[in-house]
Structure formats: C-alpha cells, structure tokens
Amino acid sequence: MKFGVLINEGPYQHQASDTAYKFIEAAIEEGHEIFRVFFYHDGVNNGTRLATPPQDDRHIPNRWTELAEKHDLDLVLCVAAAQRRGMVDEDEMKRNSKDANNIAGKFRISGLGQLIEAGIQADRMITFGD
Amino acid sequence: MEDQELESGIVKKFIYVNRKAPHGTIYAHEALEVVLIAAAFEQDVSLAFIDDGVYQLKKGQNTDGIATKNFTKTFGALEMYDVEKLYVEKESLEERGLSEDDLSVDVEVLASSDLKKLFNESEVFFNF
C-alpha cells in the first residue's frame, strides 16, 4: 500500500513525530511505500538542523534525515507554516533576505499542494497530531 | 506556486474535519489555508465542523483584542472557491447552545449518525 503521512506537531513537545517515525519504519519493513511525509503546523520544526538535544535522548531531526537517506523518503515542510516559524532553506533565505538558513538534510520546503497531491496519489493518508 | 496545479485526472472525496475553536491555537486558521489551496485541485471537497470546531462559523467574530487575523471572514468566500458542502454536527451545536441562525454561512446541519456515514464515504480524511 502507498501511504501519505501528515505530521502536525513539533519535535519533543509532542509524540506525533516519534509515532510517525515508528509507523513509517514499520510500514517500510512490511513492504509498503511512503509517497511523502508532509510537515504542517508546528510539525515544520522537525526539519531544523540546529537542534541539540541531550546526548542520551533521540535526535529527532537527524533521525528523520537518516531515515530519508536510507529509504529515499520525500520530507516536505509546508512553506507557509515554515515562513511563520522561521524554518528557512537556501532559496527561502535569498527570497526573504534572511541572514541564515536552518533546514536539515533531506528536508525540502514546498507548498500545501504537495499535501493535496499526497492525498490524491496515496492509497491512505495518515495524520499524526492532536 | 507552480507545484499547486496538478492534473492527475483523479477525483477523490476529500473531507476536512474541523474540531477546534477558531482562536487560541492556529489549527483552525491553518486548516482553512489547506482548504483554499486544495480548491485548485478540483477534488470533491466537503468540510465538517464538530466539537468546538462549530465556533469557527459563529457570526460576528472580532479579534481586535487579541491582535490575530480574523481568518473566519474567509469562510464567507469559500463559495467562490467552489467549496460549497459545509456540514455542522447537530449535537455539537446543541451542546454549546448554538443554532444554525448563529452561523455566518449556509451549512447543512447533520446528526452525528449521518455525519458518520459521510466520514465513511470519504476517501481522504484530514482532521484539524
């Protein structure tokens, strides 16, 4: 089965991102396909490369990057949600004249259309969040 | 944005379920942004309002005092986006002492059991 995944909550504050990560690992293990992982609301904060959690804790953004590298996942941060919350890639940095960017490897920023496309193309759309 | 047009030829039944109060958190506001973008994809779109989500449609909201954008005005423009199927759960209205007359847009009020049928018939379910 082809899954689309929507993550609506930020890292550490909420379990949604952890549960989605585990779901995706298990789904791939079972031979399913992940069409896209879309991060919305505070979920966009999962894509920061500037997080420094304590060493004895999981590193949520790095873990996403590693999973995406391993399985060629498409990790998309919503551009409107990202702009509000200061999540910036190279293009957004230039476009909005910012002095830095902070997006982690394998994440990309794009429009909400990517979420709707996932809804259309995937067999099941799964939401993680409140 | 260039990636927002998609001619897949597939039309699915999308339902956006709005469960939260309009202010206090950003969920309702950003949910409406999804609906507006989604309108460009020519899918079969329905909106449902349940629990505190029914407050999103309450008439006469004024957010001046909390300095947030009064996005609830946009519900009145949904018709222009061809988003015309708005359903409100009867029980949620009643529990909050509201009636259809308190709402800012035309809706169809459905009993919980009928709403459940609508959910079951939907293919893509977004929950905000």
> Mind listing the domains of chain A with CATH numbers?
2-50+58-128 (3.40.1260.10)
In a domain, B93, yes or no: yes
Tally of CA atoms within 13 A in the half-sphere of A34 that contains its CB:
26
Q: According to DSSP H, which parts of B5-89 are helical? A: 27-38
Q: What is the pLDDT of residue B2?
A: 45
Q: Which residue of A has its CA nearest to B31?
A: A41
In a domain, B72, yes or no: yes
Amino acid at B110: L
3-class state of residue B17 by DSSP: strand
| Average pLDDT of the segment spanning B92-102 | 98
| Average pLDDT of the segment spanning B69-95 | 96
**∠ Cα A44 B29 A115 (to 5°):** 50
**Cα dihedral sign for A104, A129, A110, B30?**
negative
Does B6 score more than 80 pLDDT?
no
Q: How many structural domains comprise chain B?
A: 1
In a domain, B75, yes or no: yes
In a domain, B4, yes or no: no
Give the model confidence (pLDDT) of A32-44 as tens digits.
999 999 999 999 9
Chain A residues with CB under 8 Å of B124 CB are: 119-120, 125
Interface of B with A (CB under 8 A): 1, 3-6, 8, 10, 12, 14, 26-27, 30, 33-34, 37-38, 40-41, 43, 124-128
Q: What is the pLDDT of residue B1?
A: 45
Lowest-pLDDT range of B8-17, B27-36, B107-116: B8-17
Domain with B74 in it = 9-60+67-127
Residue among A6, A41, A120 whose CB faces B41 most closely: A120
Q: Is B102 exposed, middle or buried (0-12, 13-18, 19+ CB in 10 A)?
A: middle
What order of strands is seen across the sheet that includes strand A2-7? A107-110, A75-78, A33-39, A2-7, A124-128
Chain A residues with CB under 8 Å of B8 CB are: 117, 120-121
> Measured in whole angstroms, how far is the alpha carbon of residue B10 from the centre of its chain?
22
For residue A72 the two structure tokens come to: 């060629």
A-B contacts at Cβ under 8 angstroms: 66
In a domain, B26, yes or no: yes
| Average pLDDT of the segment spanning B94-111 | 98
Q: What is the pLDDT of residue A64?
A: 98
Q: What is the pLDDT of residue A80?
A: 97
Q: According to DSSP H, which parts of chain A are helical? A: 16-29, 60-71, 79-85, 90-95, 113-121
Lowest-pLDDT range of A65-69, B5-9, B56-60, B81-85: B5-9
Answer whether B8 sits within 8 Å of A120, measured CB to CB: yes
**Whole-number mean pLDDT of chain B?**
94
Q: What residues 24-63 of chain A have any CB closer than 8 A to a CB of chain B?
A: 40-41
Does A117 score more than 90 pLDDT?
yes
Residue among B1, B125, B126 whose CB faces A111 most closely: B1
pLDDT band, very low/low/confident/very high, at B125 (cuts 50, 70, 90): very high
Q: What is the pLDDT of residue A29?
A: 98
In a domain, B1, yes or no: no
In a domain, B25, yes or no: yes
Chain B residues with CB under 8 Å of A127 CB are: 125-127
In a domain, B30, yes or no: yes
Active site residues of A: 78
Does A84 score more than 70 pLDDT?
yes
pLDDT band, very low/low/confident/very high, at B7 (cuts 50, 70, 90): low
Answer whether B4 sits within 8 Å of A40, measured CB to CB: no
Q: What is the pLDDT of residue B8?
A: 75
**Are B104 and B65 a contacting pair, CB within 8 Å?**
no
Other beta carbons less than 10 A from residue A110's beta carbon: 21
Q: What is the pLDDT of residue B27?
A: 97
Q: For a pLDDT cut of 70, what percent of chain B falls above it? A: 95
Residues B24 and B127: their CA atoms lie apart, in Å, by 17
